[in-house]
Amino acid sequence: MSQEKTHKSLDEINQSVEAPSVYETSFVQKFLAYSGPGALVAVGYMDPGNWLTSLSGGSQYRYTLLSVLLMSILVAMFMQTLSIKLGVVARLDLAQAIAQKVSKSGRYTLWFINELAMMATDMTGVVGTAIALKLLFGLPLVYGILLTIFDVLLVLLFLRFGIRRIEFIVLTAILIVGVIFGVEVSRATPNLVQIAGGLIPTPKILTNHEMLIMSLGIVGATIMPHNVYLHSSLAQSRRYDYHNPAQVNEALRFAKWDSNVHLVAAFLINALLLVLGGTLFFHAGGHLSAFQDVYDGLKNSAIVGNLASPLMSTLFAFALLITGMISSITSTVSGQIVMEGYLHIRLPLWERRLLTRFVTLIPILAIGFLVGFNDHDFEQIIVYAQIALSIALPFTLFPMVALTSNHDLMGVHTNQRYVTIVGYLLTSIITILNLQFVIAAF
């Protein structure tokens, strides 16, 4: 545990938020004190990659894939719980914990794989933000992409507020996006009985090849490596007596509450997107594949009837802009965790942000010039970014299950045998499904 003594994970925020004593009785006070890291993690489940898969899934298969979305979030809850436990009990983030168990060459290999995943995550935010700027202001994609360089200033501004205020800003953004889609879906008057039916899995998902591929895309866009690294570090942001077993148990309990509540919020927003696509665009032929299609469709009375309104289109694009910009915060922090944990290199966040963004922009701009910055072709970047995340996923989840099953590391909080079995089983299934997704994409 020498690394814990020399370098804390995300030292600038580690144990920076005071938590109530275990002997205090107010549940609400304790929940509010521990609430926040889950919001930062939940943003990763609402990035433009999730938007595309949810909207496209709804427009093609109406509400059928709600069951896939629900199962994906339940698996995410399980994995984020293991991530929390590693951070709270071992006082290490996932990168630090893995680095202690592998050779130097292994550390560099895992850093490289996960660095690609972090850049892929950042890529979806760049593309989503640039498309939102085009929809709102008519800004050409190339200029929108270049403008994302300056979001480092936004990140720095947020970080000056401290982690608690960042959590509040992100939570506010999530609520705004949720309200926007709640209003749009309620105005669309979807069939609630059919929506409830969509939450029940159907064998057709496995037998229909195109539906299976779309389902794999939803899974790939939901379970992402950077969220696991992020949560194992953010779980250490609360300050309490971690030598007190009762206090550690309470920290685990409320951190799980925080995670699950915000993941439910992420599920609801993605479900609203899928329902929006299924209610408004399913009858239009089921070929919705671009944000521009949704933006234009929300203004077209021939497609959405009385709901058609420039305001609805503007709200949709504004929500996309918010999630694209906010996701840049979490991708930056996750990248710092991976770099510090595997390479033991500590950079100021603004340097890390600029490094990540410049490295991300090079392939995006190269592809953009090749395809003439065509919206549809450009959005395929998001699809291929999901493939990069899929490749990195086994190198994240398998070690996490193994580490939280290690008694020397976790003590009395070691995974019970059934948890370990479920963890390996789910990770194996996700790995196989993601491999199918990668094969199908090519």
- pLDDT in the model for residue 441: 61
- Using the predicted structure, report yes or no on whether residue 349 has a pLDDT greater than 70: no
Question: How many Cα atoms are found within 13 Å in the side-chain-facing hemisphere of 372?
Answer: 2
pLDDT, tens digit (0-9, with 9 covering 90-100), for 104-138:
999 999 999 998 888 888 888 888 888 899 999 99
Q: What are phi and psi of 141, to 5 degrees?
A: -55, -40
pLDDT (average), residues 24-33: 88
Which residues partner with 17 through β-bridges?
Answer: 238
CB distance 329 to 10 below 8 Å? no
- pLDDT in the model for residue 288: 56
Would you give the distance in Å from CA 185 to the centre of its chain? Answer: 23
- pLDDT in the model for residue 5: 46
- pLDDT in the model for residue 153: 67
Handedness of CA 277, 278, 281, 286 (dihedral sign): positive
pLDDT, tens digit (0-9, with 9 covering 90-100), for 58-101:
888 999 999 999 999 999 999 999 999 999 999 999 999 999 99
Residues of the chain above pLDDT 70, percent = 92
- Using the predicted structure, report yes or no on whether residue 1 has a pLDDT greater than 50: no
Tokens of 344: 């033991």
pLDDT band at residue 388 under the 50/70/90 scheme? confident
The residue among 212 and 285 whose pLDDT is bigger is 212
Residues of the chain above pLDDT 90, percent = 39
pLDDT (average), residues 245-250: 94
pLDDT (average), residues 248-275: 94
CATH superfamily of 35-441: Amino acid/polyamine transporter I (1.20.1740.10)
- pLDDT in the model for residue 358: 77
- Using the predicted structure, report yes or no on whether residue 414 has a pLDDT greater than 60: yes
Residue 286 to residue 61: CA distance in whole angstroms: 7
Which amino acid, one-letter code, is at 262?
H
pLDDT (average), residues 21-29: 86
pTM of the model: 0.89
Helix residue spans in 11-150 (DSSP H): 27-34, 37-43, 48-61, 66-90, 94-99, 104-137, 141-147
Residue 168 to residue 176: CA distance in whole angstroms: 12
Tokens of 314: 């503007």
Domain residue limits, the chain: 35-441
Least confident of 150-159, 339-348, 385-394: 150-159
